[in-house]
Amino acid sequence: MSAKKGTSIGRVLGRLGTLDRATLENLAARLARERDFFESVFGMLREGVLVTDGSGVVGYANEAAARLVGCAGGELEGAPLWRHIPALRGVFGEERDAGGGELWTREIDVDYPEARTLRAQAVASGEGAERRIALTLSDVTRERMSTEQRIERERSASVLLLAASVAHELGNPLNSLGIHLQLLARKLGAAKLGARERAPLAEAVEVCRAEVGRLDGIVRDFLGAVRPAPVALAATDLTEALGEVLGFQELELSARGISLDVELPGKLPPVAGDKNQLKQVIFNVTKNAMEAMRGGGTLRVRAKADDDFVRLLIGDSGAGIRREDFARLFSPFYTTKKGGSGLGLLIAQRIMRAHGGQVGIESKEGVGTVVTLQFPRKDRRVRMLK
């Protein structure tokens, strides 16, 4: 970490070569006192404070960080942080979710020494061997529970009324569209057309019927933000769910001047999920990404898997997220988009939690944002603590 030229330390370092031995000893003593002072300040904090290098090896950790992670005071320093919190493996070293991200936040469910939810927020600086990441860890277990309860109370009065209105306004035309598409399909079947003429028309009708059904599902999912529907878990192929969502969004991507860059491994392990709900999560995230790229750009999709998780990474080349907006990303009704409902990310987070998954966000202003959807593998192996 370099000292700014305008600071007192920066001015001293600027003429370090001209200082005599006594002055250097005084400077070293002063720096040691300042370090002791800051360590005592960090030691009083309830939040965990850690500093790691680019690969996640901890160089400093205060007492609260060790307590939250569940290890002895000196056990953290010198070891990779993801060894104690496996869910963070994806943001360090070669497995990093997003190159160059300077700011990220995510909620992490940990089981040791007891089941809790931690909120990790980080700021990164430097590149290569000089890269440093400063993290704060907060125990938000009670906050998460109280927030859920407060959201339920608030929604009882406001969102329930809004959702009922939306369901009423959209339900009737969607039913009408479904009925007329059925009639169109029957007439098409009875029409005297050759196979080459009939096939593309029949395919178009089926696509429309499928999308009417999907829109009807969106209405139900919106209502599910108030009264979450039970999750029908089954072995789910994320590649297939992703392909269906991107196929539906193909025209919108083209209209917005957005290119699609998808890079997936040959075969992803299955996850235990409700396919329709997971498609809704992917749709919400990709829709946000598209809306962040107002002048065109690139929507990047990557997937990774290890022994525990399958991760879907969806990135945009938009304006990024401002620091002042970062802490409120998952707040109900909070949005920076004109006409936005402020429920998209919240619904995605609820669905992911219901699947035992997590949503992580990394962003850098002027560069873009990457959203990581982390799912436990269906065949996840249970590891014993050493």
* Average pLDDT over all residues of the chain: 78
The pLDDT score that the predictor gives to residue 99 is: 42
| CA separation for the pair 293, 337 (Å, rounded) | 12
The pLDDT score that the predictor gives to residue 94 is: 45
pLDDT digits 0-9 by tens, 229-238: 677 788 899 9
% of the chain surpassing 90 pLDDT:
12
pLDDT digits 0-9 by tens, 67-80: 888 886 677 888 88
Contact 299, 287 (CB under 8 A): no
What average pLDDT does this structure show over 25-42? 76
What's the pTM?
Answer: 0.50
- Supply φ then ψ for residue 366, to 5 degrees: 80, -5
| CA separation for the pair 347, 167 (Å, rounded) | 17
